[in-house]
Amino acid sequence: MSRSHPQLYALWLGCMGWTLTAVALGLVQWRVWLVHDSEAISSGVAWVGVWRACFNSHTQVSPGFMVRHCGSISLSEASTPPEIAAAQVLMLLSLLVGLLGNSGGVYAFRNAYFGLETNTANCFLITGALFLSASGMSLLPLAWNLRSVLANQTIAFPPGFKMPRAPDSQHVGCGIAVGMAGMVLMVLSGVMFCRYGLCRTVKSPVRSQCDRSVEYDNPAFDSHELARDI
């Protein structure tokens, strides 16, 4: 049994990053609007996410009940801002590519750990590239929406949303923070996978420190090379 498995840690980071990205996509608290003069928004706080805009209100049913009123944000609506439209498309693509990365990581790690006859190094390189691509796809909409919040940009919602034309102020919600955390974890996973794959594919007369560390930590991966040397 080897002392450590950096590629196993990379797979764990990739799974956690993918999970956080999926959670961020479902959260409505991407942009938090603070509104003081609104009859519908009783709490004075509204949340704008990738798919919905919501707020709590006493006036939608009766004064004695607090309900959450939500309006669905559609990609086809002209009022949908480009940063939210980009998030709807790119975040879904990030989840799809990240799922392929997780599947590829499991396949590569399985073959490497059991010493199967396959090009393991290339599998790890492809897995790393998938995770890096997924993180890049999520970074663009996250950074774009973050910039919109910091610039206090408004959204022209249709009347059915019962949202004001502009908030008094707004701040970053937990959806963007969770998405950023997931993106960072997928970047780390991709770098670790690519580094391991490159260490295994680079052939040199003099072994580098990278090669030695990989071989020491993962003796099972070198079983076929050791047999050829003997």
Q: Whole-structure pTM over 0.85, yes or no?
A: no
Measured CA to CA, the distance from residue 79 to residue 90 in angstroms comes to 19
- For the sheet with 67-72, list strands across it: 67-72, 52-57, 45-48, 31-34, 169-172
Measured CA to CA, the distance from residue 131 to residue 190 in angstroms comes to 5
Overall domain count for the chain: 1
Domain assignment present for residue 229? The answer is no
Q: What is the DSSP letter of 182?
A: H
Asked if 148 and 83 count as a contact pair (C-beta separation under 8 A), the reply is yes
Domain assignment present for residue 113? The answer is yes
Residue 217: predicted pLDDT: 46
- Identify any residues that bridge with 47 across adjacent strands, giving them in sequence order: 32, 54
Domain assignment present for residue 1? The answer is no
Domain assignment present for residue 228? The answer is no
CATH number reported for the structural domain that contains residue 126 in this entry: 1.20.140.150
Strands (E), 134-217: 169-172
Per-residue pLDDT of the chain (230 residues; tens, 9 = 90+): 343 477 888 999 999 999 999 999 999 999 999 888 667 787 788 899 999 998 887 665 455 556 778 889 988 888 899 999 999 999 999 999 999 999 998 888 887 777 765 677 788 899 999 999 999 999 999 999 999 999 988 888 888 888 887 888 899 999 999 999 999 999 999 999 988 767 765 544 344 444 444 443 444 444 444 444 44
Measured CA to CA, the distance from residue 221 to residue 123 in angstroms comes to 13
The range of the structural domain enclosing residue 205 comes to: 6-223
